[in-house]
Structure 1
Amino acid sequence: MPEHLSAAVTITTTPFSDQKPGTSGLRKRVPVFQQPHYLENFVQAIFDSISPPQGATLVLGGDGRYYNREAIQIILKMAAANGFGRVLVGQGGILSTPAASCVIRKYATFGGIILSASHNPGGPDGDFGIKYNTANGGPAPEKITEAIFSLSKTIMQYRILDVADVALDTVGEYAIGKMTVSVINPVADYAELMESLFDFDAIRTLIAGGFRIKFDAMHAVNGPYAREIFLNRLGAPVDSIMNCVPLPDFGNGHPDPNLTYAHELVEILYGENAPDFGAASDGDGDRNMILGRHFFVNPSDSLAILTANAKLAPGYREGLAGVARSMPTSAAVDRVAVELGIPCFETPTGWKFFGNLMDAGKVTLCGEESFGTGSSHIREKDGLWAVLFWLNVIAVRRQSVEEITRAHWAHFGRNVYSRHDFEAIPSDAANGVMKHLKDGFATLPGQKFGSYTVDVCDDFSYTDPVDGSISTGQGLRILFTDGSRIVFRLSGTGTEGATVRIYLEAYDPDVARHHLDAQVALSELIGIAGDLSQLVARTGRVQPTVIT
C-alpha cells in the first residue's frame, strides 16, 4: 500500500458569510469555491459539527463536474488531519449520489461527503456543490446544516495534511498519515443492489426480443453506471446508451433531464423509427425522465404508476408500507394509496423528509415532481432505479409506456399537471411576487375566476410525524373547490438570483379528455396563475424558462 506520511498542519483562516447550505448542500459558482480557504472552511465546519470518532470511515465522491478532483484531494487531506481512519472514494473521484447512499449504508460508515450541484450546469464558470450525508445515507437534517452554517461564520482555523495527491484513477488502498484511502469501483455495489431489486432476467428477455431503449446520461455521472447495467448486465446493444462519458462541463450542456434540456433524447423519441423506451438522468444521477415512443411521462404520474405496479418487481413483491410525495407533486399517487390501503404522506420538498419516514418504516416509495423518485433501498432519489423499475414493469405487463400510462389514467383518473419555471429572476422581484400573493390570501377564498372558485389559501407547513419537527414557509397554495390547485415556490437549488416555480394541477376523470396536452388542459389555470401573481409585470418575464 503506497504510503504518504506527514503531520497535520493548522491553517489560520477567516470566515465567509455566505456558506449557508440549502436543501441539497452548499452550491456556488466554481470561482467562489476556488477562493483560498473557501472549500476548506466549509469542510472543517462539517467535521467540527459532526464530531467523528477517531478512526471513523467516510464516503467521498462526486459527479465529475469541474473542480471535483481538486476538491476531493483537499477533502482527503483534511479527513486525515481530522482523525478519520478510512475514506472510501470512487475511482476517478466519481460516485453518483444514489451510489454514495448505497455505499454509506452497505459499509455502515460515518456518512459521506458528496460533491455535486445536481442538475446545474458545470465547467470553469459553472456551478459546484458539496453536502454531507449522514450514516443513514440521506442528506443531513436541518439541525446539522444549521450547525455547519453557524460554525462557518466563526471559523478561525482548519486542519489539513501537507502530502502528495492520491492516485484516484487506480483502484486500491493508499495511506496518507494514519488514514487509509480506499479507491473503490464506483459502480459495483450499486449495480449489485439494483440486481437484487429488479428482475434482470425478464428485462434481458425483453431487450433480446427486440425492445429498443435509449438512455441519455447527459455526459454526467451515470454514464459508467449505464454502461455496466444496460450493456454488460442486461445485454442491450451499444447504441442503447448515449452521452455516457462524464465530462467536467457535461459537454457544455445542462444536465437536467427534462423536455427542455434533454432535447437530443426527446428528438430521438419523437422522431421517425423511435425506440420503444427513452430515459435520462441528471448531473449526479438522482433524477430521471421517462419517455415512451412519442410520449412523455410526467414525474408525478411516474410515481403513481410505479406505486400501482410495485409488486411486479421482486424487491417490492411483499407490498409497500406506505408512500410519500412532496407537496408540489400531484395527488395522483394519493389515489393509488387509497386503493392499496396504505398511508400517503405529503411533505415539504427535500429528500431528508422522506428519509425520516423511511427510517421509521412508514413508507417504501417516495417521489418529487422535480424528476426525483426513489425507495427505501437507499436514502436519496435514484434515477437509474426508476428507469429499471419502469423496464421491469414493461417486461412483465408487455405493454408500451403509453399503454401503461393511459390504462392507469382510465382506472384512477388523470391528475393533469405541469410546472412552469422562471429562472434567474432578481431576488427582490421574486420575493415581491411571493409577498403580493400572500398579502392577497385573506380576500381570495370564495372568489371565482372563470371556471374555478377559490376554496382556501395557505403557506404550507409540515409537522414531521417521526420527530415532531415543524417546517414552515414551504410554498404558497391556492386550492380550488373542485380539487384543482396552483402552488408557488421559490427554488433553493440555483446559484444566481431566484427561480419562481408555478405548479398547476387539475383532476380529470373523463377518458375522452385524457389525450389533451397538459398545457391545453391547464390553459385556464395558467392564465389565473399569471393574473394572481402579477408575475409578468413584476419580473418582466412573459414565458417560463422551462415547462415540465
Structure 2
Amino acid sequence: MPDVLIQTVQPFEGQKPGTSGLRKKTAVFRSPGYLESYVQSVFDAIGGVAGKTMVLGGDGRFFAAEAAQTILRMAAANGAARAIVGQGALLSTPAASHLIRLRGADFGIVLSASHNPGGPEGDFGVKLNLGNGGPAPEGVTEAIHALSRTIDRYRTLATDDIDLSATGATTLGAMTVEIVDPVADYADLMAGLFDFAAIRALFARGFRMRFDAMNAVTGPYAREILERRLGAAPGTVVNAVPLSDFGGLHPDPNPTWAADLVALMNAPGAPDFAAASDGDGDRHMILGPGVYVSPSDSFAVLAANAHLAPGYARGLAGVARSMPTSSAVDRVAAALGIECHETPTGWKFFGTLLDAGRATLCGEESFGAGSDHVREKDGLWAVLLWLDILAARGEGVAAVMEDHWRRFGRTWYSRHDYEALPQAVADRVIDGLRRQLAELPGRTVCGLTVTGADDFAYVDPVDGTATAGQGLRVRLSDEARFVLRLSGTGTEGATLRLYLERHGDDWHGEVQDRLAEVAAAAEEIAGIRRLTGRAGPHVVT
C-alpha cells in the first residue's frame, strides 16, 4: 500500500470559483502546489471525501491528463472509495453530469475551461459538481474560497500514474478506479429522449449536415451519435479529434470563432443544417443556409417545439433563463401557460428549479441550453432536439424561424464583449452606470425613454437563497433594454458584456441595424467606449 504524504503548502491568492469553477491561465495551475491546494480546499469544503464516489474527466485540454492523475492520488489519500473516470480522462460536461446521476456518485470534478482557448499559453479550469449532477452552489464555492485562503497542507499518495487509456477497473491505494467509455452512457440517454428513427429517416432522404466539434471533447460524442447511430454521412463531423490545444482553434461556437462554418452556410450549395459545440461540450451554435440562429432565439424555438420530441411529449413544467438572455422565451412560456423564471447568470442557479420540477428547459444567452435530463447545459442535446424538430416538421431552419417570429414576434438581440480590459477600467464603467440607476427613469436618450433601471437581485423561489449584484438593467420604451455586467469566465483582465434587446412584430432586417438606437442609448448612458478607449467590442454575437 503506497504511503500517504502530507505536504505543506502556502495559500494562493485568487482561488475564488466563478460561475463555472476556477479558471486561470494554464501556467498558473501548473505552479507547484496550486492545483493541489485548490483541490484539497474542494475536498474539505464538501465535508471530506472519505468513503465517497467521485466522477472525474474533462475536455482533454493541455495539462488535463496530468491534473487527473494528481486529483486521483489526492482522492485516494483523502479516503475516497471509488473514482469513475472517463477513458483518457475525457468526459464532456453534460456526460459527467449524467454519469454522476446515473451512478449515484457523491460529486464530480470536471477539468475544463469550457470555451476558453487551450494549450500551454491558454486556460485551464477545475469545476465541482455535486450529487445532483449540477455545479456547486454559491454556499459551497464560498466555502472553497474561504478554505483556500488558509490552507497549509494537502494529502496525496506516493505512487506512479495509473493507465487511463483502456476501460476497466484498477486500484490506487485503497480506492477503486473504474475507467469507463466516456460516450456510451450519454449516447444511450440521448436515444431515450429523441426519435432516432425519424432522424435516421431524415438523413436517409439526403439531408446534409455539418457539425464542427472544434477539436474539442464533443467530437467522439457527435461521431458516435450523428454518424454511427443516426446515419449522417461520414465526415459530417469535422474537427472531431480532441486536441490538447484544440488545434489552435478558439473552442467557442459563435460567429467570430466559428467563422469558417458561418461562411460555409452562407455560400452556394450549403448543407441543410449546421452546428458547432465548444471545449467541454455544453454549448451550441445553430445555422441554416443563410441563417444564423441567435442563442436566445434557439432556446425559444426549442421551448416552443419540445413536445415534438418523445422525451418531452408530456409538455414542459416550466422554463428558466438567465437574466441577460432575451425575453423571447417568456412569450413562449406565456402562450404555453407555464412558469418562466429569470435567474442570475450561471447554470448553478437552475439546479433547484430543475430538482423541484419547476423547470424542464433552461437556457442562457451564451450559447447554452439544456433540460432536466442532466443538471448542466448540453450542446449536443440541443442539436439533437433541433434535428428532431426539423424531422417532425419537415421544414428547414429558415422556415422554422419565420414561423416562430410570425407567432411570437421577434426579439432582436445581440451581445457585445469588451475583453481583456484592465480591472480598474471595467469597474469604472460598472460603477459609473450603477451610480446613475436611480436617476435614469424618465430620461430620453437617442429617441428612447428609460422606463426602469436596477441592479438585478434574485431570490430562489425554491430555497429562498438571495443573490444580489447580478447585472445592471436599463429598460427602455419600445420594448427595448440593455444589460451590462462583468463576465465570470475570463482569465485575463476583465470582460464587460453589453446585451442589447428590442422586440417587434416585423422580423425582417439586420440585427445590428435594428438594435442601433439601443446601442447608441447604451453608449450615451454608460460610456463604455469613452471610458475604455475601445473603438468597439472584441466579439459580437
Measured after TM superposition, the shift of residue 405 of structure 1 is: 0.6
The alpha-carbon deviation at position 483 of structure 1 amounts to 2.2
Please, what is the CA RMSD of the aligned residues?
0.8
Structure 1 position 351 matched with structure 2 position 347: yes
Deviations 1:441-493 (A, max 9, x none): 22211111233111111000000001111111101111013321010011010
**Aligned residue identity for 2:532:** T
1:202 lines up with 2:228 in the alignment = no
Contact 1:198 1:388 in 2 (8 A): yes
CA distance in 2, matches of 1:244, 1:515: 36
TM-score normalised per structure 1: 0.98
- 2:78 equivalent to 1:85: no
1:310 positional shift: 1.0
Contact persistence 1:281–1:288 (CA under 8 A): yes
- Residue pairs, 1:36-115, within 5 angstroms: 36-52=32-48, 54-115=50-111
Q: Is residue 2:415 matched to residue 1:419?
A: yes
> In the aligned structure 2, how far is the partner of 1:88 from the partner of 1:148?
23
Tell me what 2:119 maps to: 123
Residue number in structure 1 paired with 2:516 = 523
For 2:248, give the aligned amino acid: N
1:403 aligns with 2:399: yes
CA distance in 1, matches of 2:404, 2:488: 33
Q: Deviations over 1:504-540 (max 9, x none)?
A: 1111113xxx121110111111111112111122111
User: Which residue number corresponds to residue 128 of structure 2?
Assistant: 132
Deviation digits for residues 94-116 of structure 1 (CA, Å, limit 9, x no counterpart): 00000000000000101100010
Given candidates 486, 490, 493, the residue that maps to 1:494 is 490
Q: State the distance in 1 between where 2:515 and 2:49 align.
A: 54
Please, which runs of 5 or more residues in structure 2 have no aligned partner? none
Say if 2:241 is the partner of 1:245.
yes
Q: SS in structure 2 opposite 1:194?
A: helix
Shift of 1:269: 1.1
For residues 480 and 427 of structure 1, what CA distance do their matches in structure 2 show?
A: 28
SS of structure 1 residue aligned to 2:243: coil
Question: Which stretches of structure 1, 4 residues or longer, exceed 3 Å deviation after superposition?
Answer: none
Aligned mates of 1:221, 1:197 — CA distance in 2: 21
Give the partner amino acid of 2:520: G
Q: Secondary structure at the match of 1:478?
A: strand
Q: Secondary structure, in 3 states, of the residue corresponding to 1:112?
A: strand
Q: Identify the residue that residue 532 of structure 2 maps to in structure 1.
A: 539
| TM-score when normalising by structure 2 | 0.99
Three-state SS of the structure 1 residue aligned to 2:416 is strand
SS at match of 2:439: coil
Give me the whole-angstrom Cα distance separating, in 1, the residues matched to 2:305 and 2:438: 42
Q: 1:100 to 1:519 in 2, by over 3 A?
A: same
Paired residues for 1:49-448 under 5 Å: 49-52=45-48, 54-448=50-444
Do structure 1's residue 28 and structure 2's residue 24 form an aligned pair?
Answer: yes
Conserved? CA contact 1:30–1:126, under 8 Å: yes
Secondary structure, counterpart of 1:542 in structure 2: coil
What is the letter of the counterpart of residue 516 of structure 2? S
Output the amino acid matched with 1:281.
S
For the residue of structure 1 that corresponds to 2:274, the secondary structure is strand
CA contact (8 A) 1:28 1:128 kept: yes
Q: How far apart are the structure 1 equivalents of 2:170 and 2:157?
A: 14
Alpha-carbon distance in structure 1 between the residues aligned to 2:483 and 2:146: 32
Tell me, in whole angstroms, the C-alpha distance in 1 between the residues paired with 2:376 and 2:432: 35
CA distance in structure 2 between the partners assigned to 1:378 and 1:90 by the alignment: 17
Contact between 2:500 and 2:518, CA under 8 Å: does it hold in 1?
yes
Q: Which amino acid aligns with 2:499?
A: Y
- Return the offset for 1:24: 0.6
| Partner Cα separation in structure 2 for residue 17 and residue 451 of structure 1 | 47
The one-letter code sitting in structure 2 at the alignment partner of 1:480 is: L
Distance in 1 separating the partners of 2:446 and 2:24:
43
Residue deviations 1:123-165 (CA, integer Å, cap 9, x gap): 0010000011000000000111111111111111110011111
For residues 120 and 182 of structure 2, the distance between their equivalents in structure 1, rounded to whole angstroms, comes to 25
* Aligned mates of 2:510, 2:185 — CA distance in 1: 41
Q: Distance in 2 between matches of 1:224 and 1:307?
A: 27
3-state SS in 2 of match to 1:324: strand
SS of the residue corresponding to residue 204 of structure 1 reads helix
Task: Tell me if structure 1 keeps the 8 A contact 2:195–2:310.
Answer: yes
2: CA distance, partners of 1:241 / 1:288: 14
Matches of 1:149 and 1:164 in 2, distance apart?
30
SS across alignment from 1:394: helix
Letter in 1 for 2:218: N
CA displacement 1:214-271 (0-9 Å, x = unmatched): 0000000101101100111001111211000101111111100000001121111111
Deviations 1:178-230 (A, max 9, x none): 11111110000100000000000000000110110000000001011011001
Alignment coverage as a number of residue pairs: 541
- SS of 1:244's equivalent in the other structure is coil
Question: What does residue 478 of structure 1 align with?
Answer: 474
Return the letter of the residue paired with 1:539: T
- Partners of 1:132 and 1:308 in 2: CA distance: 32
Deviations 1:331-390 (A, max 9, x none): 111101111110000000010111110011100001000000000000000000000000
Contact 2:445 2:524 in 1 (8 A): no
Q: Deviations over 1:254-305 (max 9, x none)?
A: 1000000011211111112100000000000000000001100011111111
Q: In the alignment, is the contact (CA less than 8 A) between 2:448 and 2:521 conserved in 1?
A: no
The aligned amino acid for 1:43 is: V
Secondary structure of residue in 2 paired with 1:275: coil
* Contact kept in structure 1, 2:100 and 2:133, CA below 8 Å: yes
Letter in 2 for 1:378: V
| Contact 1:52/1:110 (<8 A) preserved | no
Distance 1:188 1:396 in 2: 26
Counterparts of 2:96 and 2:515, CA distance in 1: 39
The structural deviation recorded for 1:440 is 1.5
Letter in structure 2 aligned against 1:330: S
Cα shift at 1:52? 4.1
Q: Which amino acid aligns with 2:341?
A: F
Between 175-184 and 478-487, the greater mean CA deviation after superposition: 478-487
Whether 1:466 and 2:462 are equivalent positions in the alignment is yes
